[in-house]
Amino acid sequence: MTEMKPVTEATAVKAPVLPDAQTVTDVKHWTDSLFSFKVSRPASLRFRSGEFVMIGLLGDNGKPLLRAYSIASPSWDEELEFYSIKVQNGPLTSKLQHIQPGDQIILRPKPVGTLVHDALLPGKRLWFFATGTGFAPFASLLREPQTYEDYDEVIITHTCREVAELEYGRQLIESIRQDELLAELIGEGFADKIRYYPTTTREESPKMGRITDLLKDGTVFNDLGIADGITPETDRAMVCGSLAFNHEIKEILEEFGLREGANSEPKEFVVEKAFVG
Ligand SMILES: Cc1cc2nc3c(=O)[nH]c(=O)nc-3n(C[C@H](O)[C@H](O)[C@H](O)COP(=O)(O)OP(=O)(O)OC[C@H]3O[C@@H](n4cnc5c(N)ncnc54)[C@H](O)[C@@H]3O)c2cc1C
Ligand SMILES: NC(=O)c1ccc[n+]([C@@H]2O[C@H](COP(=O)([O-])OP(=O)(O)OC[C@H]3O[C@@H](n4cnc5c(N)ncnc54)[C@H](OP(=O)(O)O)[C@@H]3O)[C@@H](O)[C@H]2O)c1
C-alpha cells in the first residue's frame, strides 16, 4: 500500500507562477493564419522602435516556451502590440492563437535587433521591405517620430500571398494617416511622407508580383515616379522577411551600391529574419 503523507506547505503542489508575466488586453484575428494582440508593458521596459523580444507561454513540461517577436507598437506606446502567424502544428503559435484578453503571456524584457535607426547612416529616402509578418517591425517604425524627422520620404512595400494578408498593414497605415495624436507628436502633414506599395503573389490584386521581381524590372520605380532608382547617396533600407527573401533583397540592394550595416557599424541597409526555416 502506498504510504500516505500529510499535505504540508512543503509538499503541496503549487500552481505554476508565470515568470515575466504580462496581461493580454486585446486580440484581433485577421485571417486563418494571422492575428495581432496587445499586452501590458512592463514599467521597466525600454526599447527602440524596430526591436524584438522573446515572448511565449508555459509549455506542457512547465518550462517557458519562448519565440522571438518583433514589437509592432512604437517605443512611446503604453502597451505592447504583436502581429503573429498561426502555425497549426507550431509549438508556440498552436496555443498562442487561442489567447484572450485577461490571459497572461511571458515577455522577457530584453529587446534587441538590427532594424533600428541607429544602424543606418543619414539619408533622404527610407525603404521598408516586408513579406508576411515581416511587416511587424515596420508597424512600430511607421509610428516612430524619428522616421519622419530623419527622412523626406518613407516607402513601405509589403508582399503577401493573398489580399487578406495585407489587411493588418493597410488598416494600420490608414489609421496613421488619420491619427491626430501622432500628427501632434510628429508634426502636421508627416503622413504625406508615407508611400504604401502592397503586392500579392497568389491572388489577383491591383499590383501583382514579388517585390524582388518588381525592383529588378524597374516596375516599382515607374509606379512611384522615382527616376534615379535606389542610390547609396540618397536611399536607406530595412528588410524583414523569410531567409530566401532577405537574401534576394540583400543582393539587389548591393547591386544598387548599398552596404549592409549593423548597430555597431551604421551603413545603408539592415536586414532581419521574420522567422527561421
Ligand atoms: C528575429 C525574429 C523576429 C520574429 N518576429 C515575429 C513576429 O513579429 N511575428 C511572428 O509571427 N513571428 C515572428 N518570428 C517567428 C517566431 O519566432 C516563431 O517562429 C513563430 O511564432 C512560430 O512559432 P511556433 O513555435 O508556433 O513554430 P516554429 O517551430 O517556431 O516554426 C515552425 C515553422 O513555421 C514557419 N513560420 C514560423 N514563423 C513564421 C512567420 N512569422 N511567418 C511565416 N512562417 C513562419 C517556419 O517555416 C517555421 O519553420 C520571428 C522570428 C525571429 C527570428
Ligand atoms: N500564407 C498562407 O496562405 C499559407 C498557407 C498555407 C501554409 N503556409 C505556410 O506558412 C509559411 C509562411 O507563409 P507566408 O505566406 O506567410 O510566407 P512566405 O512563404 O515567406 O511568403 C510571403 C510572401 O513573400 C513572397 N516571397 C517568398 N519568398 C520570396 C523571395 N525569395 N523573394 C521575394 N518574395 C518572396 C511570397 O511569394 P510567393 O507566393 O511567390 O512564394 C509571398 O507573397 C510557409 O511555410 C507556408 O508553407 C502559408
State the pLDDT at residue 158: 98
pLDDT (tens place) for every residue of the chain, 277 residues total: 344 444 444 444 444 467 799 999 999 999 999 999 999 999 999 999 999 999 999 999 999 999 999 999 999 999 999 999 999 999 999 999 999 999 999 999 999 999 999 999 999 999 999 999 999 999 999 999 999 999 999 999 999 999 999 999 999 999 999 999 889 988 999 999 999 999 999 999 999 999 999 999 999 999 999 999 999 999 999 999 999 999 999 999 999 999 999 999 999 999 999 998 7
201 lines ligand 2 (CB under 6 A): yes
Distance between CA atoms of residues 44 and 41, nearest Å: 8
Helix (H) or strand (E) holding 181: helix 180-186
Q: Which ligand is nearest to the CA of 54?
A: 1
The 10 Å CB-count burial string (b at 16+, else e) for 29-61 is ebeebbbbbbbbbeeebebbbbbbbbbbbbeee
Ligand 2 atom 23, closest CA: 160
Whether the Cβ atoms of residue 45 and residue 129 lie closer than 8 Å to each other = no
Mean pLDDT of the chain: 94
Residue 160 Cα to ligand 2 middle (Å): 7
Using a 6 Å CB cutoff, which residues line ligand 1?
A: 52, 67-70, 82-85, 87, 90-94, 132-133, 136, 272-277
Distance of alpha carbon 34 from alpha carbon 272, whole angstroms: 20
Distance from Cα 161 to the centre of ligand 2, integer Å: 6
Phi–psi pair at 219, nearest 5 degrees = -55, -45
Flag whether the pTM goes above 0.85.
Answer: yes
